[in-house]
Amino acid sequence: MTGPGGALVVTDLRVEFDGFVAVGGVSFDAHPGEVRFLIGPNGAGKTTCIDAITGLSKGTGSVTLGDQQLLGRSTQKIVRLGVGRTFQTASVFEGLSVLQNLDIAAGLHRSSLSLLRARRGVDPAIESALEEIGLSEERETPAGILSHGQKQWLEIGMMLVQEPRALLLDEPVAGMSQDERTATGELLQRIAQRRIVLVVEHDMDFMRRYASRVTVLHQGKVLSEGAVAQVQADPRVQEVYLGTAATTTAGSVPPDAMTETTTDAARHGEGV
């Protein structure tokens, strides 16, 4: 498992699309033991950062996981080096059971010897993932009839069975019920005890409840970084999220100012 020094370190990351700078020199790091959030309005460059970290987009600068450089490696190699990710839409095999989905994901990682052993029973890694994602009772259920939240948890389980050192999640709670959000936040906190967890999210309430540290991106650059309270108190963040540098008497963003509603407004380029 990732030990001290096993951080994900992004340094001066830059991604361009035909001359358009989507990510313009972003630096941040994420460590095991914290739920790290990357937030920012629509088009800020969050997904592009994750794409570059996972090899889906070409970037310059440096992205290291422990002592391994990730930039310039293939997506498959980056997965093998221990980076898993989810996308905004869960990609599970709907016609297969929960167990079969996990088994396929584990098969991508297992040696042929452990595949042989696994045929005699449920692989302990799968059993432990099932328990972790709370789907032990649904193991024989076809993934297609799971709730939206359960599908997202299954996708997280499919990463876990590959024993990643870092999990990157793109809007994991989008479309979830309140109970599902709470369960997801608690799941991410458990996972983060031993692994790097980096979450891209628009849901500010979720971010406030579960973030250990936050980096705010705006127009491809880091606007602000720190603990939730620090970031909320940053007038530049308020400017971006509320479209005005309005302040409270204490000169800071009200704790509940960065709500989902205001974020949605920011996503659509509206002030409030």
Ligand X SMILES: Nc1ncnc2c1ncn2[C@@H]1O[C@H](COP(=O)(O)OP(=O)(O)OP(=O)(O)O)[C@@H](O)[C@H]1O
Nearer to ligand X, 40 or 172 (CB): 40
> Do the beta carbons of residue 166 and residue 3 sit within 8 Å?
no
Nearer to ligand X, 103 or 171 (CB): 171
* CA–CA dist 98, 141 (Å, integer): 6
Cα dihedral 122, 125, 127, 132 in deg (nearest 10) = -160
Nearer to ligand X, 28 or 110 (CB): 28
* CA–CA dist 160, 141 (Å, integer): 19
Q: How many residues bind ligand X (CB under 6 A)?
A: 11
> Do the beta carbons of residue 21 and residue 214 sit within 8 Å?
no
Nearer to ligand X, 2 or 47 (CB): 47
Stretch 34-63 residues interacting with ligand X (CB under 6 A): 40, 42-48
CA 100 centroid distance within chain: 24
Nearer to ligand X, 151 or 202 (CB): 202
CB of 272 to ligand X, least distance (A): 18
CA 187 centroid distance within chain: 12
Stretch 8-37 residues interacting with ligand X (CB under 6 A): 17, 20, 22
> Do the beta carbons of residue 6 and residue 65 sit within 8 Å?
yes
Query: Which position has the token pair 């999640």?
Result: 169
H or E element in which residue 35 lies: strand 35-39
CB of 93 to ligand X, least distance (A): 25
Nearer to ligand X, 43 or 235 (CB): 43
> Do the beta carbons of residue 94 and residue 154 sit within 8 Å?
no
CB of 48 to ligand X, least distance (A): 3
Does the footprint of ligand X cover residue 208 (CB under 6 A)?
A: no
Positions touching ligand X (CB under 6 A) are: 17, 20, 22, 40, 42-48
